[in-house]
Amino acid sequence: MHWDAQRYLDRHGFIIERGQALIDLLAPQAGERVLDLGCGTGDIAAAIAASGADVVGVDASPAMIASARARFPEQDFRIADAAELSFEEAFDAVFSHAVLHWVTRPADAARGIARALKPGGRLVAEFGGHRNCAALEAGFAQALLQVAGRPYPSPWYFPRLPDYTGLLEDIGLVVRAAWHFELPTPLKGSDGLRQWIIQFLPHHLDGLSDAEHEAVLTATEAALRPAIWHDGAWWADYRRLRVVAEKTGQAASDHKV
């Protein structure tokens, strides 16, 4: 999918701010090598590097990597698909914030993460869990069908907690902690809902006339206003899955999914 890095920074920078809690959980140490998987605009990689860690940021989007390199030229950013990582025992930690729900080959991603970790290394990740954005997706699906006659196939992977921790354990990582929690999040501005759709679901609007495009957005707002507009803002019904897992001495390749 094409990423609009500037719109992301302008309208969805709160996602970067929310990454700070996960950096605290990572507790990066000076001299550690850390992979930021799905680094986007590079802000979180730069924040991790401020601890003295040596950070490599990867992202599948050339537009995001171009933005990251321009904003943080001293950092190491590379284009790479999370499901096709080629690192071998290169990192003390793999960190990933608000990314793994985009990766629809989760077992391939998990195997690549396990391979990329040194023995004793850790994965610290947070992404959308089961029923993440359930209201948002239902409202948009209803509007898209009514206005444009299009079905809505969800582009995301939002697993249940035991399904994801089981997947990690099947490939040989040891899950040290895991959470599934609600994180209602205000979107920026009275047009926040439509900006969210334009940013994250642009391909579902491809090929619509300007009038249909506007009608889908208006119908989504009408469908969702009773449920997620309050206190002067649209609230995204985020539900996060957060995990900490460790690669112990046993090689991940000894395990099969």
Q: Is 194 in the site for ligand BEZ (CB under 6 A)?
A: no
**Minimal distance, residue 102 CB to ligand BEZ, in Å:** 8
Q: Which residue has the tokens 């690549």?
A: 112
Q: How many residues bind ligand BEZ (CB under 6 A)?
A: 9
* Furthest C-alpha separation in the chain: 59
List, as own/partner pairs, every contact residues 229-233 make where C-beta atoms lie below 8 angstroms and the sequence separation is at least 24, other chains included. 231/186, 233/186, 233/187, 233/192
CA 6/CA 29 separation, integer angstroms = 31
Per-residue string for binding with ligand BEZ, 91-130, x by CB under 6 A?
A: -------x--x--------------------------x--
Residue whose Cβ sits closest to ligand BEZ: 128
Q: Which of residues 12-51 bind ligand BEZ (CB under 6 A)?
A: 15
**Minimal distance, residue 31 CB to ligand BEZ, in Å:** 31
Q: Is 133 in the site for ligand BEZ (CB under 6 A)?
A: yes
**Minimal distance, residue 185 CB to ligand BEZ, in Å:** 8
Q: Which of residues 157-186 bind ligand BEZ (CB under 6 A)?
A: none
Contacts of 158 (CB under 8 A, 6+ apart): 101, 128, 129, 130, 131, 132, 133, 239, 241
User: Using alpha carbons only, what angle is made at residue 123 by residues 114 and 86, rounded to the nearest 5 degrees?
Assistant: 35
Which residues lie near ligand BEZ (CB under 6 A)? 15, 98, 101, 128, 132-133, 156, 200, 238
